Every structure is written in structure tokens, then in C-alpha cells.
Structure 1
Amino acid sequence: MSEDISRPDETRAPRALITDIFQAGVAAADPAAAVKSALAGQAFERPVIIAVGKAARTMAAAAMEHVTADTVVVVTNYENAEALEGAEVRAAAHPVPDANGARAALRVEEVLSHATDDVLALISGGGSALLPAPVAGVSLEEKAEVNKLLLASGADIVTMNLVRQQLSRLKGGGLLRAAAPATVTTLVLSDVVTDDTRAIASGPTVSPIGSRADAAQVLKDYDIWDRVAPSVRAHLERPEPDLGPLPESPLTIVGSNARSVEAMAEAARERAAGAALYVHPTPVEGDVSEAAEVILEIARAQGGKGLFLFGGETTVKIKGDGLGGRNQELALRVAMLAQVRGIEEFAFLSGGTDGRDGPTDAAGGLVDHSTLARMREMGVEPEESLSRNDSHHALDAAGDLLRIGATGTNVADLQVLWLP
């Protein structure tokens, strides 16, 4: 979708402008407002609240304003873990699970085993790692190693979570079965660009994406099968038990990447420069090198000037020992490709709505036509950095890391490109 918007404010720096637009997208994914809206008009009789994911604490706090809960367990990442009166808040690691996550999973199972009436499940992105619950015979360390291998393989989130589900007691409907006979109502803040609820936090209250055989095939397709523990291979080769159909469970998506992209468009119409505004109608996915090509090609095809807005979730195949994340690497690749194409002036931002990109303290990168020169002035060669997947240190040298802190939400990634 492309459109004309008001004349630009030429005094406004492009970097500040596109940061404001990105922040509008993040604000639109406010979990508290989403939960309050979803619960309006609903009644629960002292439910058990289980909140899991990067937005878990915020979602739980909002729900507790609406209902009087019997027990509230919140499992979130360390950056978002703050005390919440009336709730038990547990912190765990993301993106690779740790022992605190495993202990939190045991606690969730214990609480659900005593639930008899209503359970309110508040699910947000990051839940896959935060609530590991490895199946019998597979250790937490072995499951974590599978996670690391999948993260480095370039597999998309749906493919990754297909495997994770088959190695977990709580994923792929496991939480729903653990809560039976209680009735589970699920509110989901989606970090999966297709809004496939089976993939969001690995679908704890919905059916699995695939079977054990499907998971085994994924590991083989990505050349991981021979690198995982024998216990993992043995589990995936066993016949699947017949557990019967999943219990009925109402589910509502309360926030998504698409909604945040539209909020960015609204902000652009109000604040921004412009000759032209283009909102890409489909998610940007796939390897970051391909995504950089797609973004600049779309801009060229749409006239090569104005604001271009995107949402999605890319992947990175890790080949080096550097530090970074998909948003930082995408930003660096766009800067390099823009130079190759002779684009003399631009600004580009790619950021994770959760405020954290990969195992770093940055949400992503904010680059422009001077980025590469500033890097080289600091003795950093961007080509060499990319060859080692070291976008973090390269962008840091240029002063082009996007740092916004933990946001308490997560609806995947957002991108903004400005061309004068």
C-alpha cells in the first residue's frame, strides 16, 4: 500500500523521525491495554493465572485489575522480571533455556495440577525458552543444545518450535492437558508474523505443529540430527502415544506485528516527512541477506523516495563467532547494499519490539549513509565483521546501535526506511 502524506518537516532529523515511528509501533503492542480490552465483559470465578513470555508480567498485572485470582504465576525473562504484588514472579533465560526456566515449568505444572475451575493463560513471545519442561529422558542441557543448534541453523520460528514442542511436556497443548479438567482461556500477544498460534511460545494451549517424525526430519534437513544428544534422537524415534483430542479452549490474539505496522503508518501520517508513504503488506522473512535486497528493491520499485514501513522476522545463519542479532545484521547489510547501489542519502532502522536483539542489550540497528565511513574511521571493516556475524561490535563502533531497554512486550520486528 502506498499513499501521499503531508509535506515534510525539513527541520526534523531523519534518524529521530524513524525512531519515533518505530516507537509508535512498539507502543501499539502495549500488553496491558490489550489484556484489559480482551477481558472487558468477561467473568471468572477466582481463576488461576499463568502468564508466560516477555510480556508476562505486564499482562498479569492488567488481568489482576480485572479478576480476583486464586493463584498467579508469572514466568518472564530476567530483564522484565519485577515483583508484582499478589503474584509469584519467576525469571528465566532467553533465548537459550536455563535451570530457572525448568524450575518455573515444574511450578506451573504443580499449580495446574490443583486447578479445578478456570485457568487464564496469558501467552507472549519468548515462552518457548522460558518454560522448557524437557520430556522424560532428555536433560535440560541436552534440550538447550538443540535450541542453540536451531538458533544457529537459520530455521524460522515455526520450524524451530515444531522441534521444541516435541521435546517439551508443556508445549504443543501440554499446558492445556496439564490443566484438565479446568477450563483454560488463552490470551496471546503474537510475536509470530503469521499469527500461527501453534508457533507462538510453541503453542502451550493449542495443538502441535507436527509430529515427532516431523521434528526428526527437521533436524536432518538442517544437518543437526547427528549433533544432538542420543536421548533426543531416541525420543523422536519412539512411537507417539495416543493422548486423544485436546480439550476445548477459547483463544484470543490481543496484539500482533501487523497491528504495530499499522500504528507506525498512523505515526508517519501525523509526524513525518513526506512525499510518499509505503506500507509493505506482507511480512519480511527469510535470511537477512535476502531481506536487505527485498527492502531496497521495494523502495526502488515504489519510486525511491519517502518512508517505507515493514514488519516481520528474519533469520541469520551463524557462521562466525561474533556478537549480534538479526536486526543488527539486517541494518548493517542494508547500509552496505545501499552503498553498493549508490544511494547517497538514507536512514534505516530495524529493531525488535521487545528491546533485545539476540544475546545483546540492543534492540537492533539505526544506520544511515555515513555509517560505514564512521565504522572505518574506528578501524572496523564492515565486510569482515559480517563474515563473523559480528554486527554488534561494528554498529557499536559507529554509534549506531538502537538501545531502548526492555519494553515488556514482543510482536517480532519492525523496520523503517527513509529516502529523501
Structure 2
Amino acid sequence: MTQVEDLRTKARFLFDAAVAAADPARAVQRGFAQSPLPPQQPGGRTILIAVGKAAPAMLGEALKAIPDADVALAVTHHENDATLQGAELLRAGHPVPDEAGARAAQRVIDVVSKATEKDRIVALISGGGSALLPAPPPGVSLTDKARLNDLLLSAGLDIVQMNLVRQQVSLLKGGGLARLAAPAPVYAYLLSDVIGDDLRAIASGPTVSPIGTAEDAVKLLKSSDIWDATPASIRSHLEQARHAVPDRLPPTQNTLVGSNRLSLEAMAKEAHQNGLTPRIVNDSLTGDVSDAARHVLTEMTAKGEPTALLFGGETTVKLTGTGRGGRNQELALRIAMAAPALADQWVFLSGGTDGRDGPTDAAGGLVDRGTLPRIKAAGADAEALLANNDSHAALAAGGDLLMTRATGTNVADVQVLLIAP
């Protein structure tokens, strides 16, 4: 095995360690230990609702602790092929909402809205839940919501900004689930895919107060130059909602059970066990992917010992082309194209812990200083493909796609830069 092959193998080990640290079952165990559920009231029901990319695993673990739950319902994405005994498992579209998601949202609404003060609702929430449960208000169609989602993604907004708007065009987001469940108490356990772990932004906050108001959403859409392109039904809804007094959120217990930072710490431990000196450089690598690439590139200097530089976050890509890719693939490609000619060997990995990067079959990219020559040898033009936001095609040509199956969890993205003298 060559040195670069060894580094690539170790980079994948570190990525796998990040995913393992975000294991949904262990997260639920931590949550129940940290914030135990109160006893079920006589004559009351226990209703388990799991939503997100980690929903099946989280619900499966919860059922071990509460095997006699009266209702057990999970909603996850189509690519999650997990099975779940003793529960209703629904799948929906992500990142773009679909009709299956609309039906799943209605099912959740039907279940929680029938709860009484004697019941208890246990909500298990993970990343991806925002798109999986599209519940548009009256007068807004699913097509209009999908169009809004496309506009938010293409505008390069970060996850908090996108969720600020999404919450204002939903019956479930921004505390909507908790409001529909009242008077039943809600106990929520959240696996964070949001950098900084703002509970309002995880799955658009179905059990917490909204990030902002309808007025804030209108201002953001206008400042991002997508207000005029926003469907008329949504603009009308937001204009009316600007003058309404928001409902007060019922009392809800929210417990954070997993995060990106925990995964970075697990990567550092794995790096040390593999003979590397680890350092968490940045646990909030956010903003435009080109800026993130420049930040990573400043760390690409010669090292006196095998080193693992670790990053975590969630960047954004402003789409200008028609190609296919994702923020992790584009970040990896940008690093490969701009990396300095070190005497040292280096490998860079950027991947989504959910196993999926954008609307592609890849989790991200794994590149080294041989990436560009391989792309060129395959007859592809890396610069032209990047200009067209076609990072998937470029990395595929170089054999540098990071391929995993859906992991069943999601704590945003992680990056690994390995440098060996």
C-alpha cells in the first residue's frame, strides 16, 4: 500500500468514526438517561413520533424502552431502507418535499391532534425532518412549497435562514407539532444536524418556538432577491401572517442527544489511535463553499509529523450551473484544484454524515494530489465542470467520490485533512 493509499484508508476510518458517534440508538439512550420520561398517567396513551433521517433507528431504540407504546410512527427519507418491527414506517422525499411527505405530515397531524391531557407524546427528531413533513397552510400547494424550497437552496442560504422561512409556511414547523398536540405534554429528543445546535433549526423546530416571524421571512426573501420569484400563494400567506399574533407555545421538554461536535471528538480519538496527531481546527465551517475552501487551504502547510486536521459544519453552494453535485463534493473538488504543491503527501475528505450529498448518490469527495491528473486522464475538464456546478461528474472521473449508503443518522458534515511528511 502506498502512502497516499494509507492516508485515504485512514481518512475513511475517521469518517466512519464520525458516523458511529452519531449513532441514533446511542443518542436515544443518552437522552432517556439525561431526561427520563415521567410515568404514563392512568388511562393515558404513549405516542411515539420519530421524524428525520435517523427516525427508524431512534424509534427502534425508544421501543425497547417503551415496548407497550400505544402509537409508534416514523417518517424518514426514501433512501433509508431500514426496517422497523412494531411500528408504522413512512418514507418521503428529501431534500425536495413530495406527495408522500404530504401524506406523512397529514398522518402525524391526525395522530397528535387527537391527543388528550392524559396522553404523553415522545418526539424523536433528527435532521431532514423539515423536508420530510411538508404541511402547507390552507391556500398553499405542495408544488408551491417545493418551488420555495428550490429557491431557498439555490440562493445559498444557510440552514437557519432556510428554516426561518420554512417555519412560516407550515402547520408543523416552528412549534406547530407541539401546538397541535396540546393539551398533551410533549417530550422531544433531538439529534442535531445544525451547527451551533440551535434547537429551533433542527428539522425546522416542530417542538420549539420559531426562529423568527413572518415579517422576518418576508425581509429575508426580499434581501435574497427571491421574493418576486416566490409563488404568489406563499407571498399572500406571509403578508397576511405578518399582522397576526402568533400562538404561544405550550410547555415542551426538549433534550439535545447528539451533535456534530461529538462526532469531531470521536474522529480525533480515532486519528490518535491510527498514529496521527489530531486537531479540531473549526467546528463551525459554514458559509459559502468557496470561502470554506480558502479556510481549509490555509492549513495546508508542511507538518513535521502525520497530522489530522478536522473540521465540521455545513457550507452552502450558490447554484449558477446545471450540473449535479453537493456542497461536500464541490468543497473536495475546490481543494483538489487549489491545493499547494506540498512536498508532503495529503488527503482531503469532505462528507455528509447522512451518507448523501445533494441530489446525488455520493456522500461527498475524497481527494489527493493525484485527483486532477486522474480527471484529466479520463478526458474531463475540472474547471469547466466546477463552473457548471458539476462536481459529481468531475470526482467520478477521478474515482474520488465518497460512496456510502444512507447511514440512518445526520449531524451535518465533517472534513478531514491528513498530511504526512
TM-score normalised over the length of structure 2:
0.94
Aligned partner of residue 90 in structure 1, secondary structure: strand
Alignment root-mean-square deviation, CA: 1.7
| 1:72 is the counterpart of 2:72 | yes
Could you say which residue in structure 2 is the equivalent of 1:88?
88
Equivalences for residues 351-366 of structure 1 within 5 A: 351-366=351-366
Could you say which residue in structure 2 is the equivalent of 1:251?
254
Could you say which residue in structure 2 is the equivalent of 1:315?
316
Cα distance in 2 for partners of 1:382, 1:305 equals: 29
Cα distance in 2 for partners of 1:42, 1:217 equals: 40
* Per-residue CA distance 1:159-190 (angstroms, 9 max, x = gap): 00000000000000000001000000000000
Aligned partner of residue 42 in structure 1, secondary structure: coil
After superposition, the Cα gap between the structure-2 partners of 1:397 and 1:281, relative to the gap in structure 1 and judged at 3 Å, is closer
After superposition, the Cα gap between the structure-2 partners of 1:291 and 1:399, relative to the gap in structure 1 and judged at 3 Å, is same
Q: CA deviation at 1:240?
A: 4.2
Aligned partner of residue 252 in structure 2, secondary structure: coil
Q: Is the 8 A contact 1:44 1:118 kept in 2?
A: no
Could you say which residue in structure 1 is the equivalent of 2:192?
190
Equivalences for residues 276-315 of structure 1 within 5 A: 276-300=277-301, 306-315=307-316
Moved more, 231-240 or 41-50: 41-50
Q: Is the 8 A contact 1:81 1:91 kept in 2?
A: no
Could you say which residue in structure 1 is the equivalent of 2:227?
225
Identical-residue share of aligned pairs (%): 55
Cα distance in 2 for partners of 1:304, 1:166 equals: 51
Q: CA deviation at 1:82?
A: 3.5
Cα distance in 2 for partners of 1:244, 1:395 equals: 48
Aligned partner of residue 356 in structure 1, secondary structure: coil
Q: Is the 8 A contact 2:37 2:187 kept in 1?
A: no
Q: CA deviation at 1:11?
A: 9.7
Could you say which residue in structure 2 is the equivalent of 1:141?
143
* Per-residue CA distance 1:245-293 (angstroms, 9 max, x = gap): 21111111110000000000010111133xx422114311111111111
Q: CA deviation at 1:217?
A: 1.1
Q: CA deviation at 1:404?
A: 1.2
Q: CA deviation at 1:120?
A: 0.2
* Per-residue CA distance 1:15-50 (angstroms, 9 max, x = gap): 001110111011000000110222235344241011
Aligned partner of residue 225 in structure 1, secondary structure: coil
Q: CA deviation at 1:317?
A: 0.4
Aligned partner of residue 250 in structure 1, secondary structure: strand
Q: CA deviation at 1:332?
A: 0.2
Moved more, 276-285 or 118-127: 276-285
Q: Is the 8 A contact 1:353 1:363 kept in 2?
A: yes
Could you say which residue in structure 2 is the equivalent of 1:3?
none
* Per-residue CA distance 1:303-346 (angstroms, 9 max, x = gap): 896210110000000000000000000000001110xx323531
Equivalences for residues 300-379 of structure 1 within 5 A: 300=301, 306-338=307-339, 341-344=340-343, 345-379=345-379
AA at the equivalent of 1:319: T
Could you say which residue in structure 2 is the equivalent of 1:416?
416
Q: CA deviation at 1:114?
A: 1.6
AA at the equivalent of 2:57: T
Q: Is the 8 A contact 2:278 2:309 kept in 1?
A: yes
Could you say which residue in structure 1 is the equivalent of 2:129?
127
Q: Is the 8 A contact 2:4 2:347 kept in 1?
A: no
| 1:34 is the counterpart of 2:27 | yes
Moved more, 45-54 or 193-202: 45-54
Equivalences for residues 100-111 of structure 1 within 5 A: 100-111=100-111
Q: Is the 8 A contact 2:385 2:391 kept in 1?
A: yes
Q: CA deviation at 1:83?
A: 3.5
Q: CA deviation at 1:241?
A: 3.0
Q: CA deviation at 1:136?
A: 1.1
Aligned partner of residue 207 in structure 1, secondary structure: coil
AA at the equivalent of 2:261: A
* Per-residue CA distance 1:111-167 (angstroms, 9 max, x = gap): 012212100000000001000101111100001100001111110000000000000
AA at the equivalent of 1:52: V
Give unpaired runs (5+ residues) of structure 1. Answer: 1-8
AA at the equivalent of 1:375: I
After superposition, the Cα gap between the structure-2 partners of 1:303 and 1:162, relative to the gap in structure 1 and judged at 3 Å, is farther
Among 13, 17, 23, the residue aligned to 2:6: 13
Equivalences for residues 170-209 of structure 1 within 5 A: 170-209=172-211
AA at the equivalent of 1:373: P
| 1:97 is the counterpart of 2:92 | no
Q: How many residues align?
A: 408
Q: CA deviation at 1:12?
A: 7.1
Cα distance in 1 for partners of 2:121, 2:25 equals: 19
AA at the equivalent of 1:176: A
AA at the equivalent of 1:88: E
Aligned partner of residue 155 in structure 1, secondary structure: coil
Q: Is the 8 A contact 2:302 2:342 kept in 1?
A: no
Aligned partner of residue 89 in structure 2, secondary structure: strand
AA at the equivalent of 1:86: G
AA at the equivalent of 1:16: T
